[in-house]
């Protein structure tokens, strides 16, 4: 019987109380800027959870329409637009 692929729960969060909306775009969702919306808690922290298979992923947050890397993640990779993607190793 083939071994079932295990996925890991990954929490993405961004501290930005003044943002109106935050989305998560990355290699796990074809870089779609509207595919995964984060929810803001009472402290102004935006969060979402994804189940991801083992691998290396690149992602960015889209905050009120502006793409930005994850300030809490020191692992970065230069992208084709001259800015950086955040890198996640699951």
pLDDT, tens digit (0-9, with 9 covering 90-100), for 25-43 = 999 999 999 989 999 999 9
Cα dihedral 30→51→47→39 (10° resolution): 70
**Cα 41 to Cα 10: distance, rounded to the nearest angstrom:** 17
Indicate the class that CATH gives domain 8-89. mainly beta
**Cα 84 to Cα 38: distance, rounded to the nearest angstrom:** 20
Reported pTM: 0.90
Q: Do 8 and 28 contact (CB within 8 A), yes or no?
A: no
Residues 10, 12, 85, 22, CA torsion sign: positive
pLDDT, tens digit (0-9, with 9 covering 90-100), for 35-73 = 899 999 999 999 999 999 999 999 999 999 999 999 999
């Amino acid at each position: 019987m083939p071994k079932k692929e295990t996925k890991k729960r990954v929490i993405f969060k961004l501290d930005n109380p003044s943002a109106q909306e935050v989305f998560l775009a990355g290699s796990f969702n074809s870089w779609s800027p509207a595919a995964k919306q984060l929810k803001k808690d009472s402290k102004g922290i935006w969060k979402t959870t994804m189940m991801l298979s083992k691998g290396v992923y690149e992602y960015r947050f889209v905050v009120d329409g502006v793409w930005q890397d994850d300030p809490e993640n020191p692992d970065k990779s230069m992208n084709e637009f001259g800015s950086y993607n955040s890198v996640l190793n699951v």
